[in-house]
Amino acid sequence: MYEFNHSHPSEVEKRESLIKEMFATVGENAWVEPPVYFSYGSNIHIGRNFYANFNLTIVDDYTVTIGDNVLIAPNVTLSVTGHPVHHELRKKRRDVLFSDNDWQ
């Protein structure tokens, strides 16, 4: 993540390669504008034709699946971790899924 976030804008091929390394799976034609922040990266699955604008933050303590043709606006945070008030609810988790053709 550090190397990606500090890459020069002209290093397009390097950024493409790092995007594929940072996440668990990445479909064709996926692009992320730096900076991007995430907890692990290994829990993030990205579909085809994906675009994320700058300052995307993903708290991927659990699985985050982003479908095909998804666009994410600047300064978006995706968090699978929450803090329910009731103690029994805090023991449960929920994965995040963005369907195909979604825009956030």
Q: Contact at 8 Å (CB) between 98 and 66? A: yes
Q: Which of 6, 83, 86, 87 is catalytic?
A: 83
Q: Which tokens hold the place of 47?
A: 């579909």
Q: Which tokens hold the place of 93?
A: 């988790």
Q: Which tokens hold the place of 45?
A: 């699955």
Active-site residue 6, yes or no? no
Residues involved in catalysis: 83
